[in-house]
Amino acid sequence: MLGAVVLFVALAALIFNVFRGGGEEAATSTTTTSTTVPVAAVELFPATVEASSFLNGHDPENLIDGDADTDWNDDGARGVDAWVRLSFTQPVRITEIELQNLFDDDRFKKNYKIQGYLITTNDLSIEISGRLANTNDPQRIPIASIGTTELTIEVKSTYPAEPAGDRPPFNELALQSVRVFGSDG
């Protein structure tokens, strides 16, 4: 029994020395860590905005003017296949966008709203698709971009317009604003 214990201890010591370097000076290693401080997302302001179509007085520029009294109305087939393109003078890293339907409850009901969307940027070949809720609360969408100069939002489906009180619904899609967040490229 004593011989088995001695043999076990000798084998353990041999294995320990083989993995440790066999009696040579143990090598030292240095571990370094680095911390990347995330860049705070700020609101980015497009230089221009264009759209597939618009009603007179409801220009696409209204989406980025910061004025709560203006909006964009698409003059297409109830908004399906409508698009909005935001352009930046310098490349930007977009982390998210915020879409705001009409604030006014009656106008919100009476206009078509974006339901399904497809978002692309000109720096990556990633398509971001999803569905918005049928609400007039601001809705944020995460975006993957590393240095784009264009962001395009395509409307793939819409929520229907409804009558508001005794007033009939409109045939147009309406959107209050688009805000873009990220950092300079």
**CATH assignment of the domain containing 168:** 2.60.120.260
Helices and strands in the chain, H and E counts: 2, 10
Contact 84, 170 (CB under 8 A): no
Q: Is 27 among the domain residues?
A: no
Q: Is 24 among the domain residues?
A: no
Q: Is 8 among the domain residues?
A: no
AA letter at 85: R
pTM value is 0.78
Q: Residue holding tokens 């001695």? A: 6
Q: Which residues of 106-131 are buried (b: 16+ CB within 10 A; e: fewer)?
A: ebbbbbbbbbebebbbebeeeebeee
Q: Is 2 among the domain residues?
A: no
Locate 33 and state its tokens.
Answer: 């860590």
**Rounded Cα gap, residues 17 and 2, in angstroms:** 23
49-99 pLDDT, tens digit per residue, is 999 999 999 999 999 999 999 999 999 879 999 999 999 999 999 999 999
Residue 103 has pLDDT above 60, yes or no: yes
Q: How many domains does the chain have?
A: 1
Where in the sequence is the domain holding 152, given as residue range(s)?
A: 42-184
Q: Is 32 among the domain residues?
A: no
Q: Is 31 among the domain residues?
A: no
